[in-house]
Amino acid sequence: MAAARTEKAASGVPAGQAAKAKFKEAARVTVALAGNPNVGKSCIFNNLTGARQHVGNWPGVTVEKKEGQMLYAGEAVRVVDLPGVYGLGAFSEDEIIARDYILAGEADVIINIVDATNLERNLYLTVELLEMGANLVVALNLMDEAAGRGLKIDVPKLGALLGVPVVPTVAPKKQGMEELVAAALKRAREGSPQPLAVPYGREVEAELARLETALAAYAAAVAGLPRRWVAVKLLEGDELVRRRFERYPALLKLVEESAARLAALTGEDAAALVAEGRYGFIAGLVRETVSRQKTAAEKLTLSDKIDQVVTHRLLGIPIFLGAMWLLFKFTFALGGPLVGYTEAFFEWLGGRAAAIPNPVLASLVKDGIIGGVGSVLVFIPPIFLLFLGLSFLEDSGYMARAAYVMDRLMHALGLHGKSFIPLLIGFGCNVPAIMATRTLENRRDRLITLLVAPLMSCAARLPVYVLFAGAFFGARQGLVVFSLYLLGIILAVLMGMLFKVTLFKGEQAPFVMELPPYRLPTFKGTLIHMWERGAAFVKKAGTVIFGVVVLVWLLSNVPWGAPVEQSVIARLGHLLAPIYAPCGFGHWEAAVALFFGILAKEAVVGTLGTVYGVEEAGLQAAVQHHFTPLAAYAFMALTLLYIPCVATIGAIRREAGWGWAAFATAYTLALGWLVACLIFQVGRLLGLG
């Protein structure tokens, strides 16, 4: 896009917090992006600001509001990306964030992104925004897909009927961005329009008129909001609006009387009548502005045909498992040879470090930094390849199908199917998985998902898997790593069931899973998503892991000059080692590796590299000397399950409080130890080790 550019690219404003604060202060216009989940909000946000916010082809990618900046025709503009919501009912955390921001009136104009292929559902939020008097511009996105489905939309007529500008866009191709920004800024200068008055029918309108008249006496509580909108929300029982009038029981009594009269007259409750009125209005809009070449029944889209196979009742789960197995085969088949090259590089680097004249400094660089951080960084190739495969599956729309397929299984087990989406996100990192639980409306479902999300194999565990699977399982290493990912999913489901019948008894909330259309991922987009995740891994290796391995090196050399078996770290390891003896790895090196792995799971490999005092190429031989194949598998299972890393614990604490963070820490430690013991002891009984 030529006119809407990033702050840095357009003006040369230096990056950094101070510059961002200055820009924010200078920005005279604030534009908020609002819309249903998975309609392209994040993509438009990135187009406008030049940011690289994650864009996924599934709902719930944005769970908190994000801010960016752009310059347009010399004008500084703040852009706020709100979480995707279906309406302003404020049932879940992300809906509350979006609604509170809109109600606060901070935005000069709201760009409401609407999926042109699904107008009926998307326009519900549009109508709610217009009813509350929001200053709106509608971005009619995915127009190319709508045309592909035979939909012809009369855009000028739709804008005229809604009373707001409507701009056709194709966000992935950056089409319509210029026109969208121009329309939004023009709208911001013009000010707010009159609120939309949806015709709700004679009976409802009569009650709304009574309530509007009564609200004239409560100006302070109405607080500048359209009286008709407040009356509608009170009538449909909106909890947040009702709280504004808790001090006015007389008004709430009038509301209840109105609702009772409507129920007596129509046989339906007021909320249903209001929703029916909105959908009726939307149906009329669509009828007036949209024509179809063929009906949906007459024409199956390509997405429909693929879904008939991949979401099949019997084939869906085997296809999902097959896709994941192929992903790991791809990762290790291509990543294995590349690991050899990186090992050779760090071996060469270690040789150079050994030549440093100062022996202490040489030991720190060679044994501590290169032996520790290098042990983690050699696994960059398989990690990036895994992220490349996951990004392709996500962007294509398949991962949403995986959640849909698993939804059936989880419902059969009494769990909420929507919970599987945060669990899938946990394959990359557990921290965003914890944050993604905000999309769950029911607090019980949210807490259960939040507690089991750390059981998913995040990227930080992958170096441990690659090291041990490569050392002990040769050509079957891909299958072994696949089994660990599967173990995490199975235990997450089982623990969810246990929590559901013990700690969180109650009915599960109804759930409708949205299936986005399949899209061919762009090469650039897939590479960007791979880099977003991989860069976080590299950054952590250069910060947290670096700090941990230097600490481990220091502790392994104190008292100075003594053999490592007599060092402080060895004493700590000997203290902890008996705990892990029943799991098959009761030696001090494994114990301290697991101990420092609490800080970050990658530190397990880094610590082993440091305490064994070997370079990357020698680490596999070192673990082969200390572990049996059975003990190695038990060790990987424990690494998967025991205490989440400190960043994940912190995320749980932020979302649910210290109590649940402590509970997650305790139960995962017990579960990890128990599963590792079972694997080793049962394996020994079966003669496997």
Any binding-site annotation on 557?
Answer: no
Any binding-site annotation on 41?
Answer: yes
Any binding-site annotation on 61?
Answer: yes
Any binding-site annotation on 42?
Answer: yes
Any binding-site annotation on 37?
Answer: yes
Any binding-site annotation on 142?
Answer: yes
Any binding-site annotation on 64?
Answer: yes
Any binding-site annotation on 49?
Answer: yes
Task: Determine the distance from the C-alpha atom of residue 543 to the mean position of all C-alpha atoms in its chain, rounded to a whole number.
Answer: 23
Q: Among candidates 375, 372, 391, 400, which has minimal Cα distance to 331?
A: 391
Span between the terminal Cα atoms of the chain, in Å: 62
Any binding-site annotation on 516?
Answer: no
Any binding-site annotation on 63?
Answer: yes
Angle between helices 249-266 and 202-215 (to 10 degrees): 170
SS3 679: helix
Any binding-site annotation on 46?
Answer: yes
Any binding-site annotation on 35?
Answer: yes
Angle between helices 544-556 and 603-612 (to 10 degrees): 30
- d(C-alpha 126, C-alpha 34), whole Å: 9
Any binding-site annotation on 213?
Answer: no
- d(C-alpha 40, C-alpha 173), whole Å: 11
- d(C-alpha 510, C-alpha 83), whole Å: 21
SS3 112: strand
CB 137 within 8 A of CB 111: yes
Any binding-site annotation on 437?
Answer: no
SS3 218: coil
Beta bridge partners of 5: 71
Any binding-site annotation on 309?
Answer: no
Q: What are phi and psi of 111, to 5 degrees?
A: -95, 110
Any binding-site annotation on 144?
Answer: yes
CB 255 within 8 A of CB 235: yes
- d(C-alpha 572, C-alpha 598), whole Å: 15
CB 285 within 8 A of CB 126: no
Any binding-site annotation on 1?
Answer: no
Please provide the DSSP assignment of 455-493 as one string.
Answer: GS--GGGHHHHHHHHHHH-GGGHHHHHHHHHHHHHHHHH
- d(C-alpha 295, C-alpha 292), whole Å: 7
Any binding-site annotation on 530?
Answer: no
Any binding-site annotation on 57?
Answer: no
Residue 426, both tokens: 């946990």
- d(C-alpha 664, C-alpha 16), whole Å: 36
Q: Which residues carry a binding-site annotation?
A: 35-42, 46, 49-50, 60-64, 81-84, 141-144
Q: Which residues carry a binding-site annotation for Mg(2+)?
A: 46, 49-50
Q: Which residues carry a binding-site annotation for GTP?
A: 35-42, 60-64, 81-84, 141-144
